[in-house]
Amino acid sequence: MSERRKPYPFDRIEPKWQAVWESERTFHTPNPGEAGFDAAKPKYYVLDMFPYPSGAGLHVGHPEGYTATDIVARYRRMCGYHVLHPMGWDAFGLPAEQYAIKTGQHPAITTARNVAHFKAQLKRIGFAYDWEREVNTTDPGYFKWTQWIFLQLYHSWFNPETQRAEMIATYRGSDPDSVRLAYVAEAPVNWCPELGTVLANEEVIDGKSEVGGHPVERRPMRQWMLRITAFAQRLIDELDGLDWPDGIKLLQKNWIGRSEGAEVHFGIAHPEPVPEERIAANAMSGILHRVRAEEKITVFTTRPDTLFGATYMVLAPEHRLVEAITTEEQWPEVRAYRERTARKSDLERTELAKEKTGVFTGAFAINPVNRERIPIWIADYVLLGYGTGAIMAVPAHDERDFEFAKKFDLPIRQVVQAPQGQESIGFCGDGIAINSPLLDGLQTFEAKAKMSAWLEENGFGKKTINFKLRDWLFSRQRYWGEPFPVVWESGKHRTLDESELPLTPPELADFKPTGTGEPPLAKAKDWLRYSDAATRETNTMPQWAGSCWYYLRYCDPGNAARFVGEESERYWLGADSESKGGVDLYVGGTEHAVLHLLYARFWHKVLFDLRFVSKPEPFQRLVNQGIILGEDGQKMSKSRGNVVNPDDVIAEYGADAFRCYEMFMGPLEQMKPWSMTGVEGVSRFLARVWRLVMSENQAGEWVLSGAVQDAQPDRAQLKVLHATIKKVSADIETLSFNTAISQMMIFVNAFTNAAVKPLSAMRTLLLLLNPFAPHLTEELWETLRAHFPGAKESIAHESWPSFDESYLVEDEIEVPVQVNGKLRDKVTVNKDASVAEIEAVALSAQKIIDHLAGKNVKKVVVVPGKLVNIVAT
RNA sequence: GCCGAUGUGGCGAAAUGGCAGACGCAACGGACUUAAAAUCCGUUUUCACGAAAGUGGAGUGCCGGUUCGAGUCCGGCCAUCGGCACCA
């Protein structure tokens, strides 16, 4: 196939302007104090979720959000803001390491190569990033401060009285290690044998690893944890002031999972003496002895009002009291059940959820409200990790308990009267308490309150709030991540001094997981040894660590003395007359709704409490772009062969067409399929813009069109011009880029056949189009400047145009006239016509008279400037 | 199962409660051309009647409601997509 003739020379002008922007530092953003900084200007911080630079390169999904933010950034800059619009690399992570294992090539090498590739691809699209602010999470100058933030977490705690993070020095208790925000715990973790690492709850999907889809099992291991649960309430409450999609706020709230209820202590009825051999064999023998005396079992319930309906109790199989309470007779069965559940992966546990299983322990608990003996069972439908790991079962009013009770033939006692018309057994909603001496006749909400109060007065429990959110499992058994700035000495951990940072990972030839759960860093014997007595921590941080604070580093990326300079932080992330503070616009995919966005908010709050940052929330306005599907309407994937490569599109249609098509496809937030003919349509539009200003001479060269003249636009042209300024400006503010482009198409259609193309109108169009198609508009701007003096050297330095409402109104307006809601005619009236005048004109129109024949006019609704509706019967 | 989003021409879509389908794609017709491409102009929700200009009916997933007026608001369903999933 021969080379298709280009509709306009984008292949020449795009590289040209990209080179100019780079050499002129056109999009460099000065920091406070720097040359070119004007303190009077308001700030605008517009941020993209930085990419993981994978080997596959950029796909068309990346530039969707990036183009949206680029348009906003260029627009705001022209509106007179200092705009912070940076880009960087989330470059630690599993794929680079797995590639290293396969090829033996160091992850640093492949990462550098991938970053270079990504960067070249992004530059080809013409984004107005300030590349002098580029950050890379694998850069020692960067992860030094990731490690430094870890030190702040380690050296602080959450003071429940102030509800804030404070330095550990303010803690008055005896065991600071038990309250640090970064702590070590022996905890059941998500262990993935295939990846050779543990994973956060958030990284496990349906019992499989998010990366690679390998099976994950639970096993107890010693791990670093971050105490995010301390911030659970604030992470919910402080969502309120944020301009985020409601759906995302809800997703976070549900993930944090707050529920109000009560803790209730149940006594244990006459426990049998625990056999001596079980005590001897058990590490927790202390507990076994205590049980006989005063140990209680505490349950959490959201329905304390149903306490009289509790007919049995269930412990999680792993509950610490199981060994202590189980009778000799039931012990073999209980032990077998525990072993079976322990072997089950999370996946199996969910798959088998259809059928409830469980075993009776032989023991009984005493219900504090009525001194009733109820049997204690264990069952894997009760989870150790939530609440207290034990429940009181109220089968009459809880679906799961009901199912379990039916299967094992346990008693069911109704204690809530359902509203009329509903079956009370199995009813789980709010009703009236019955069969409950203390509570009879009360509404559910009253009964809950009364029971909670009663429990507290009598020492049987208290009102409690529970969260689904777990502490953040923060260590990984990986090579390609930030090492912990921690050493171990005689079984105790302590941190490195700030002066010892950054702690870089050791050189290793073999990155393979050990398979035992011991991290690969343990293989670096020299590195491992810190002193004669102390060895280094060998875990590394998860990939989320670097992305938790990168938006802070952009504000002051070269600062060697501080993670971000105070003045820079205050300017870019503080509030001013126009900004509520924080990142003013953050665009990225929904896949980060609960992971990155929750972690980053958590870190930010800690830094805020410790007075390192100005505002408690990092991202003021969040927008999620929708995913782009292949031309077949399916998710893009290599195996389907429907992947669109940005490089190919740019080679054929140019970067401006690529950018504009991505924005013209449909609403930013929506999922939408790619269409190559759609790209062609947008490319045609840009070519029409080009030909408004340029024409081809005899020699086949593009020269300024003779139709462009310094002439006054006519009335109709002024109307469409000002309508376009108005619509494009408003649409950029609301990120409705598709309709902004439609309006510019209308403009171009209106001018295409004009004999004279007025210079002022052409210039205004170029300004409006510049954020969308920066190369084309720069080139045309330059051509116009060469013939007509009086413009700035780069269109990027020009100001955004403003519109004049008076051009938008016509003297005569056309008003539709409806009869009984159906359009029957249109009449033309003066724009200032009164309601009575409009009504008179409408009623005298011939078609309307015809339609009203034989009817009585009941009412005439006149909406001035809009329409007339005549109601007639 | 629970929570959320979405449902409009052949397709992507547009419409502060006020003319449904702007803008673009595709298709068809025309102009230019020896011809094609490119470009420019026009038609294009659907049904009925009409040679035509046109006239009339239906129409925004389904059923109902509020309103002079509903794609838009309210109630109830259905479908698709996404998230959570024994959270007591």
Q: Encode A611-659 in three state secondary structure.
A: CCCCCCCCECEEEECCCEECCCCCECCCCCCCCCCHHHHHHHHCHHHHH
Confidence of residue A100 (pLDDT cuts 50, 70, 90): confident
Q: Which residue is nearest to nucleotide B11 (CA to C1')?
A: A675
What mean pLDDT is predicted for residues A430-434?
91
CA of A397 to C1' of B48 (A): 61
Nearest nucleotide to A753, CA against C1' atoms: B40
Cis-peptide, bond into residue A542, ω within 30° of zero = no
Nearest nucleotide to A669, CA against C1' atoms: B5
* Closest CA relative to residue A741, chosen from A764, A773, A718: A773
Q: Which nucleotides of B are covered by protein (CB under 7 A)?
A: 3-5, 11-16, 18-20, 22-26, 38-41, 55-58, 68-70, 81-88
Q: Is the pLDDT of residue A282 over 60?
A: no
> pLDDT of A611-659, one tens digit each?
999 999 999 999 999 999 998 888 888 888 889 999 999 999 999 999 9
**CA distances (Å), A870 to each of A822, A836, A846, in order?**
9, 13, 14
Q: Which residue is nearest to nucleotide B13 (CA to C1')?
A: A666
Nearest nucleotide to A824, CA against C1' atoms: B19
Distance CA A163, CA A606 (A): 11
Nearest nucleotide to A742, CA against C1' atoms: B23
Q: Is the pLDDT of residue A45 over 90?
A: yes
Nearest nucleotide to A255, CA against C1' atoms: B84
Nearest nucleotide to A816, CA against C1' atoms: B19
The complex's ipTM works out to 0.95
Cα A452 to chain centroid distance, Å, stands at: 37
Distance CA A422, CA A414 (A): 13
Token duo for residue A332: 């073999």
Q: Which residue is nearest to nucleotide B26 (CA to C1')?
A: A677
A860 with A818: CB under 8 angstroms?
no
Q: Which residue is nearest to nucleotide B40 (CA to C1')?
A: A753
Nearest nucleotide to A861, CA against C1' atoms: B68
Amino acid A605: pLDDT: 97
Q: Is the pLDDT of residue A2 over 50?
A: no
* Closest CA relative to residue A46, chosen from A69, A30, A78: A69
Nearest nucleotide to A627, CA against C1' atoms: B82
A334 with A325: CB under 8 angstroms?
no
CA of A422 to C1' of B77 (A): 21
Count helices and strands in chain A by DSSP H and E runs:
28, 36
User: What would the DSSP string read from start to end of A344-379?
Assistant: S-HHHHHHGGGS---EEEEEEEEETTTTEEEEEEE-
Amino acid A418: pLDDT: 86
**CA distances (Å), A531 to each of A394, A417, A519, A527, A534, in order?**
58, 69, 20, 10, 5
Q: Which residue is nearest to nucleotide B22 (CA to C1')?
A: A742
A376 with A313: CB under 8 angstroms?
yes
Q: Which residue is nearest to nucleotide B6 (CA to C1')?
A: A670
Q: Which residue is nearest to nucleotide B25 (CA to C1')?
A: A678
Greater pLDDT, A679 or A852: A679
Helical ranges in A481-558 per DSSP H: 525-528, 544-547, 550-553
CA of A254 to C1' of B3 (A): 9
Amino acid A665: pLDDT: 95
* Closest CA relative to residue A480, chosen from A57, A105, A20, A73: A105
Nearest nucleotide to A826, CA against C1' atoms: B19
Token duo for residue A97: 């390491």
CA of A777 to C1' of B36 (A): 32
CA of A737 to C1' of B14 (A): 12
What mean pLDDT is predicted for residues A40-58?
94
Amino acid A287: pLDDT: 52
> pLDDT of A802-850, one tens digit each?
999 999 988 888 889 998 888 888 888 888 888 888 988 888 888 888 8
CA atoms within 13 A of residue A723's CA, in its CB half-sphere: 19
Confidence of residue A279 (pLDDT cuts 50, 70, 90): low
Greater pLDDT, A654 or A204: A654
Q: What pTM does this model have? A: 0.93
> pLDDT of A570-621, one tens digit each?
999 999 988 999 999 999 998 888 889 999 999 999 999 999 999 999 999 9
CA of A735 to C1' of B18 (A): 26
CA of A852 to C1' of B48 (A): 23
Amino acid A346: pLDDT: 59
**CA distances (Å), A159 to each of A164, A165, A172, A182, A603, in order?**
6, 6, 10, 14, 16
Q: Is the pLDDT of residue A1 over 50?
A: no
CA of A668 to C1' of B71 (A): 21
Nearest nucleotide to A210, CA against C1' atoms: B83
CA of A723 to C1' of B70 (A): 28
CB within 8 Å of A80: residues ≥ 6 apart: A41, A42, A799
Q: Which residue is nearest to nucleotide B20 (CA to C1')?
A: A823
Distance CA A150, CA A226 (A): 9
A475 with A276: CB under 8 angstroms?
no
Q: Is A600 exposed, middle or buried (CB count within 10 Å of its CB: 0-12, 13-18, 19+)? A: buried
CA of A847 to C1' of B74 (A): 36
CA of A66 to C1' of B1 (A): 38
CA atoms within 13 A of residue A485's CA, in its CB half-sphere: 23
Q: Which helix (H) or strand (E) holds A539?
A: none
**Residue A104 Ramachandran class (φ > 0 left, ψ -120 to 50 alpha, else beta):** left
Nearest nucleotide to A677, CA against C1' atoms: B25
Helical ranges in A276-396 per DSSP H: 276-280, 285-293, 322-325, 331-343, 346-351
Nearest nucleotide to A381, CA against C1' atoms: B86
Distance CA A145, CA A560 (A): 9
Nearest nucleotide to A683, CA against C1' atoms: B24
Distance CA A119, CA A113 (A): 10
Of A76-80, A148-152, A277-281, A601-605, the one with minimum mean pLDDT is: A277-281
Amino acid A727: pLDDT: 96
Of A131-135, A384-388, A486-490, the one with minimum mean pLDDT is: A384-388
CA of A849 to C1' of B52 (A): 26
Q: Which residue is nearest to nucleotide B56 (CA to C1')?
A: A824
What mean pLDDT is predicted for residues A17-33?
96
CA of A851 to C1' of B11 (A): 38
CA of A670 to C1' of B6 (A): 9
Nearest nucleotide to A299, CA against C1' atoms: B88
A412-425 burial: b if 16+ Cβ within 10 Å, else e: bbbbbbbeeeeebe
**CA distances (Å), A192 to each of A196, A206, A537, A687, A775, in order?**
6, 13, 21, 54, 48
CA of A411 to C1' of B12 (A): 60
CA of A855 to C1' of B20 (A): 28
Token duo for residue A573: 């992330």
* Closest CA relative to residue A472, chosen from A254, A251, A256: A256
CB within 8 Å of A544: residues ≥ 6 apart: A200, A595, A596, A599
A726 with A705: CB under 8 angstroms?
no
Q: Which residue is nearest to nucleotide B69 (CA to C1')?
A: A821
**Residue A179 Ramachandran class (φ > 0 left, ψ -120 to 50 alpha, else beta):** alpha
CB within 8 Å of A217: residues ≥ 6 apart: A190, A191, A192, A193, A345, A346
Angle of helix A715-733 relative to helix A737-752, nearest 10 degrees? 170
Neighbours of A638 (CB within 10 A): 8
CB within 8 Å of A582: residues ≥ 6 apart: A45, A573, A615, A617, A618, A619, A620
* Closest CA relative to residue A80, chosen from A849, A799, A871, A809: A799
Beta-bridge mates of residue A628: A672
Q: How far apart are the first and last CA of chain A?
A: 68
CA of A436 to C1' of B77 (A): 39
Q: Is the pLDDT of residue A778 over 50?
A: yes
Q: How many residues does chain A have?
A: 873
Neighbours of A701 (CB within 10 A): 10
Amino acid A791: pLDDT: 80
What mean pLDDT value characterizes chain A? 90
Q: Which residue is nearest to nucleotide B14 (CA to C1')?
A: A739
Q: Is A226 exposed, middle or buried (CB count within 10 Å of its CB: 0-12, 13-18, 19+)? A: buried
Q: Which residue is nearest to nucleotide B2 (CA to C1')?
A: A254
Token duo for residue A287: 């507990």
Confidence of residue A3 (pLDDT cuts 50, 70, 90): very low
CA of A852 to C1' of B55 (A): 16
CB within 8 Å of A347: residues ≥ 6 apart: A206, A207, A208, A215, A216
**Residue A387 Ramachandran class (φ > 0 left, ψ -120 to 50 alpha, else beta):** left
CA of A579 to C1' of B15 (A): 31
What is the torsional sign of CA A593, A598, A600, A601? Answer: positive
- Amino acid at residue number A243: D
Amino acid A354: pLDDT: 67
Distance CA A759, CA A711 (A): 7
Q: Which residue is nearest to nucleotide B57 (CA to C1')?
A: A822
User: For the CA atoms of chain A, what is the radius of gyration?
Assistant: 34
Distance CA A122, CA A125 (A): 5
Nearest nucleotide to A354, CA against C1' atoms: B86
CA of A349 to C1' of B82 (A): 24
* Closest CA relative to residue A155, chosen from A180, A173, A179, A172: A180
Token duo for residue A25: 């530092």
